[in-house]
Amino acid sequence: MSFSLASHLQELDDLIDREKARGGALIPVLHQAQELYGYLPRELQDYIADRLDLPQSTVYGVVTFYAFFTTRPRGRHRVGVCLGTACYVRGNTKNLERLSQELGVCPGESTPDWRYSLEVCRCIGLCSQAPAIMIDKSVHSKVQPDQVAEILSQYE
Amino acid sequence: MTREELERIRAEAKQALEARDMTTLPEGELKPPRPGEVRVVLRNCGQIDPTRIEDYIARDGYFALAKALGMSPEQVIDEVKRSGLRGRGGAGFPAAQKWLFARQAVAARPAPADGSPPAYLICNGDEGDPGAFMDRAVLEGDPHSVLEGMTIAAYAMGATQGYLYVRAEYPVAVDHLQKAIPQARKLGLLGKDIFGAGFDFDVDIRIGAGAFVCGEETALIDSIEGRRGEPRPRPPFPAVSGLWGKPTSVNNVETLANVPQIILKGAEWFAAMGTEKSKGTKTFAIAGKVKNTGLIEVPMGITMREIIYDIGGGILDKKKFKAAQTGGPLGGCLPEQYLDTPIDFESLAAAGSLMGSGGLIVLDENDCMVDVARFFMDFTQDESCGKCPPCSLGTKRLLEILTRMTRAEGTPEDLLTLEYLTQNIATTALCALGQGSVNPVVTTLRHFRDEYEAHIRDKFCPAGVCKGMFHYEILAECCTGCGVCRKKCPEGVIRGEKKAPHEIDQPNCIVCGDCYKACKFAAIAIRPGPTEKSRRAAHKTETPQG
């Protein structure tokens, strides 16, 4: 996967112009840039720094501080396993182990075909339906390890 | 917008609402109130369509704002002060006091010459405590109650611009707010000259980016300004110098959702609920090993036993209650002896825990308290912003020690080091995250010291959680020979004739626990010492860290 800044440059410029007028534009810009490009590689960070008149170090510092931002490309589907307290005591580590086996990757990695990336995510607030897994923006609640393969197959 | 117009909308909307079938929230999320519940903050959740402002108005929405704008800001502050409303985000600081401090700070400085807002109101919706989801429920199910609360608070303190900071993990909440704000603007309930009272106020949404520390108010302010969220030393308090150096009040979602009801029904109505120092109701998110999980709202002063057994229906699978974890990663674990303590800000703090945002996770006999302490330390260590050494280095050391203990490598000195370190971190860390990070360790050490000692002295995890520190045995005198465990065993290492006591082929057992879970007769016991296979497996793999 090679990165091309030009692929969404017009949209990026538009959103920077829109956000620049408001105070504290950096985080909203990073959110939207990540939405456009999927991730925030250095080249993109440096371009944003330049457009917002910020030091590159500031942008890099913010990107690496917040868990939501990623500097590595991700698969088409983000498989997030919640390890909040409720999901943890209800056994989501077993689901994580099974997902890791099924996909053949460790948490934080993507499958070679870029179909899935596996992540441990922060509490998604579905504690009453624990253990929960979030794939892209859909939620699977009360998941048992044996259901994991079937759930994955729903995502092309 | 005038009051008369609002009344007209309410009359129409009421009829429309009554004619509709309301099933907006996903099943299982918010059940009908159970006996003992009083819903103030959650009163509209599941009862209205959160994407329609008319539904909110039908349930007396924005009438509190109309009433408040007919009062002076001082009268509004006084009303909320007399109600005894304290911040629901965890610390329990009186809400009216925050507004008063900010109001005084605004009065003490000249009006901004550049036309920028004289002060800001921030609604803290960065609900980061794992195990708590009341703010998500309110933002998703009743967004206008938060907007109305914000507008009243802004009027009281003198802010003209508000920010609603919401977690990125809550896309539905963000979506509902993005619909709610333009609706309120269109009806003139946000924007210029609200209710013709000469008061301007508008709200902007800011989406978090996944940092627990941003729930701390000064870190949250940094984040809105577009920087890393790193807490600042106080003073100056945000009420004096907050967002972009202006007086700022940061209030929690649940706190603000209480405000319209207090204005509408009066301080006395609110103060009649709760305990002497903690008034009103509190939402709790019950989760873990309890039958009825979910959100509840109860008057302050209720006991843990009422919450867990009467409302929560008791412990799952007839297991024994071990502890209730309150207050999230910065709270503590309270054992059985606290079940009958009335819950309020003071009583939980006295017990070494926290009200926090109201997460309540029930732990049973199969939860290892050393592992629970390690779990929370792993979380706070990961979320430490790195600014002050007591927290950034201290939590790392604590995590190392706890991890060692859960891998059968703990030493007797480790217990002393834990005690020494936790005391130091609690007194020297810069913000509530660092100071509170030790609470899970301190409370488990205080109440479950025998478990720590078993891990260190006997290399034994009595709860059967820490890998390589226990094995299972079938108790011949309890086993009925039903054969369920034999069928469940993935390795096929359980032997036995029908109706005769079974036996585990220990050297080949991987200690997966499937038999233990399946046994209906409590005939399988946890015993010290690993099996050969489980010892090797524990050395090879590590539990994934959260």
Q: Residue B27: its pLDDT value, please? A: 53
Is A93–B543 a contact, with Cβ atoms under 8 angstroms apart? yes
Residues A60 and A83 in one domain: no
Position B90 confidence tier, pLDDT thresholds 50, 70, 90: confident
Q: What residues of B are in contact with residue A49 (Cβ under 8 Å)?
A: none
Q: How would residue B545 be classed by pLDDT, with cut points 50, 70 and 90?
A: very low
b/e string for B532-544 if b means 16 or more Cβ within 10 A?
A: ebbbebbeeeebb
User: Which among B132, B211, B226 has CB closest to A25?
Assistant: B226
Quick one: tokens of A144? 């048992």
Tell me the mean pLDDT in the region B431-459: 96
What pLDDT, in 10s, does the model give residues B208-259? 999 999 999 999 999 999 999 999 999 999 999 999 999 999 999 999 999 9
How does pLDDT run across B172-211, given as a tens digit for each residue? 999 999 999 999 999 999 999 999 999 999 999 999 999 9
Q: What percentage of residues in chain B have a pLDDT greater than 70?
A: 97
Helices (H), B187-238: 217-224
Quick one: A84 and A127 in the same domain? yes
CATH fold of the domain at B281-364: Ubiquitin-like (UB roll) (3.10.20)
Shortest Cα–Cα distance, A72 to chain B (Å)? 16
Looking at the domain that runs over B371-457, which CATH code has it been given?
1.20.1440.230
Question: What would the mean pLDDT of B429-442 be, rounded to a whole number?
Answer: 96
pLDDT beyond 90 at B538: no
Q: Does the residue A114 lie in any domain? A: yes
Domain boundaries, chain B: 3-271, 281-364, 371-457, 471-527
Per-chain mean pLDDT for chain B: 93
A94 touches chain B (CB under 8 A): no
Residue B270 clears pLDDT 70, i.e. is over it: yes
Q: Does A31 contact B204 at a Cβ distance shorter than 8 Å?
A: no
How far apart, in whole angstroms, are the C-alpha atoms of residue B542 and residue A109?
17
**Nearest CB to B228: which of A61, A121, A122?**
A61
Contacts of B380 in chain A (CB under 8 A): none
CATH number at A134 reads 3.40.30.10
Query: Top-level CATH class of B3-271?
Result: alpha beta
This model's pTM is above 0.90:
yes
B202 burial via Cβ count (<10 Å: 0-12, 13-18, 19+):
middle
Q: Does residue A110 sit in the same domain as residue A58? A: no
Residues A39 and A81 in one domain: no
Q: Are residues A41 and A105 in the same domain?
A: no
Mutate to test the interface with B, among A63, A81, A85, A141 (most CBs of B within 10 A): A85
| Across B13-22, B44-53, B145-154, least confident range | B13-22
Band the pLDDT of A23: cuts 50, 70, 90. Answer: confident
Residues B201/B194, Cβ–Cβ less than 8 Å: yes
- The residue segments making up the domain with residue A113 are 77-153
State whether A140 and A89 are in the same domain: yes
| CATH code for the structural domain at B471-527 | 3.30.70.20
Average pLDDT of the residues in B253-266? 98
Give per-residue pLDDT as tens, B19-63. Answer: 887 665 555 578 888 888 999 999 999 889 999 999 999 999 999
Q: What CA–CA distance (Å, rounded) separates B163 from B122?
A: 5
Residue B282 Ramachandran class (φ > 0 left, ψ -120 to 50 alpha, else beta): beta
Among A33, A65, A97, give the residue marking a domain's end.
A65
Instruction: Measure the CA–CA gap between B234 and B430, rounded to whole angstroms.
Output: 9
ipTM of this complex prediction, to 2 decimal places: 0.90
pLDDT at residue number B268:
97
- Chain CA centroid to CA B15, Å: 36
